[in-house]
Amino acid sequence: MASYCIFDTEYTTWEGAQATRWNGRGQHREVFQIGAVRVEEGKAWEELETLSLLIRPQLNPVLSAYATQLTGITQDMLERDGLETPEALARFAAFSGNLPVFSNGMDLHIVAETCGLQKVIMPLDPRQYFSLHYPLYAALDAHFAFDHREYVSGRLHELARLEPPSKMGGVHNALHDVWSLFATCAWLKQQGTDVIGDLLKA
């Protein structure tokens, strides 16, 4: 039975930052949330182990109002529950173990960028990390006509009209986005396209 991990990150941002590629003065991309699930084939979401970590940014320790509005994560939540980056990454490394790890795009690059900015040694092996993006969206294109830019990780489940579990948070909450990726891949497998299985065999 194949096992693997799906993860997602949220990182510091400001209104308009994406359009300028974070080139505004003092703008840096630092991860402040990691969500992950450890998947065992054949098990439902409720049976799986999940991880949700808040992380305190160092270069911009105060979240912008835009980042809070986008993710639902407040400054109080970060100050109460946030970890330092080395501890958070160590926990994530222990959680994912030696499993292959998938994300919608290479979220690992943002983690590496954060480590570089904070002068932290990254405890993750890049050889374990894979992007779902192109095969996932290609598989969805076979069923739906949709604008890829509008359907980020946390909205993909909407295409198949899947309902998220209660108390999951919304789009751009890392754990919600992980659930959306998991549920969408599971739905595609039911339709005959095993996106992750095919990547594991490659």
Q: Are 30 and 114 in contact (CB under 8 A)?
A: yes
> For the chain, what is the domain count?
1
* pLDDT one-digit tens code per residue, 69-123: 999 999 999 999 999 999 999 999 999 999 999 999 999 999 999 999 999 999 9
| 15 close to 66: Cβ distance less than 8 angstroms | yes
Listed in sequence order, the DSSP H helices in 41-159 are 65-71, 75-81, 85-96, 107-118, 133-141, 156-159
Range of the domain at 184: 3-201
pTM score of the predicted model: 0.95
- What is the domain-level CATH number for residue 93? 3.30.420.10
Torsion angle in degrees (nearest 10) through CA of 97, 98, 103, 108: 80
pLDDT in tens, 26-61: 899 999 999 999 999 889 999 999 999 999 999 999
